[in-house]
Amino acid sequence: MVLHGKTAIEEVVLYHAGADVGQGAHTAFMQMAAEAVGVPLEKVRLIASDTAETGSAGSASASRLTFMAGNAIRGAAEKALAAWQAEDRPATGEFMYRPPKTTPYDPLAYGYVAQAVEVEVDLETGLVQLVQVICASDVGRAINPLLVQGQIEGAVVQAQGYALMEHILCKDGRVLNPYLSTYLIPTVLDAPAEVRSLILEYPDPIGPWGARGMAEMPFLPLTPAIAAAIHDATGIWLTSQPFTPDKVVKELRKHGLGVI
């Protein structure tokens, strides 16, 4: 991080290797840099993911990016501000964040999520329609609530595909359905009519401004929530996903439900 200016900070240049893969991470990086230095967002310029300038930050995976990047940004800002107070111009701060070792079920830095769903089951065809999803996610602190909501909604639809339709078929080492016409993914017509995103904020003591990662959390409970909703509607438990119509019909007929 480099602070430019004479008597006041006129520009903050943030060098960071963290990748934005559509989740809005770079926006969050700039917000955290502005907060750490104490300047408006418009004074922050991000140079991101340029290996000639920023090195490597590891992968954008494991819901780690906001937590790791935020702590690194905060550390760099502290060093840059110390240099600024020493009247270094421009003032530079570099910081590499390494998290403390964790043990199983360590209460720190874990995200938590719970989901409830409403489904409709066609007893004749076995088609399961996901109607409504309520997703409550404890994100520590939401750096950008709108981005968090977008990640929740996107994750729900992606998990819907995993739960209800995405079924890769292989035979003798060959994929039998390699095209989107045969390997189905959710479209806008398949998405739930409503996804309610309940963003809970219980700050993490070692997270940057209390934040913890959350991007992948909504994936995890959707399949069991859908299975429980199908059971509530029909009385049958499905134990193998995806819950495609052929599987659902087979179980319905086995239990004497639907058209025979």
- Distance from C-alpha of 257 to C-alpha of 248, rounded to nearest angstrom: 11
Look up residue 253 and give its amino acid: R
Same fold, 2-92 and 112-254: yes
Segments making up each domain of the chain, as ranges = 2-92, 112-254
- Largest Cα span, the chain: 83
Residue 251 falls in the annotated catalytic set: no
**Fold observed for domain 2-92:** Aldehyde Oxidoreductase; domain 4 (3.30.365)
Full pLDDT tens readout for the chain, 260 residues = 999 999 999 999 999 988 888 888 999 999 999 999 999 999 999 998 877 787 777 777 767 888 889 999 999 999 999 999 999 999 999 998 888 777 776 665 577 899 999 999 999 999 999 999 999 999 989 999 999 999 999 999 999 999 999 999 999 999 999 998 999 999 999 999 999 999 999 998 888 998 888 888 899 999 999 999 999 999 999 999 999 999 999 999 998 887 65
State how far the alpha carbon of 37 is from the alpha carbons of 3, 77, 207, 242, in Å. Answer: 9, 6, 17, 48
Alpha helix locations (H) across 86-217?
Answer: 145-164
Catalytic residue among 118, 153, 216, 251: 216
Centre a 10 Å sphere on the Cβ of residue 136 and count the other Cβ atoms it contains.
17
Q: What stretches of 105-240 adopt beta strand conformation (E)?
A: 112-121, 128-138, 170-171, 174-175, 194-200
Instruction: Give me the CATH code for the 112-254 domain, please.
Output: 3.30.365.10
Beta bridge pairs of residue 46: 14
Q: How far apart are CA 119 and CA 230, in angstroms?
A: 7
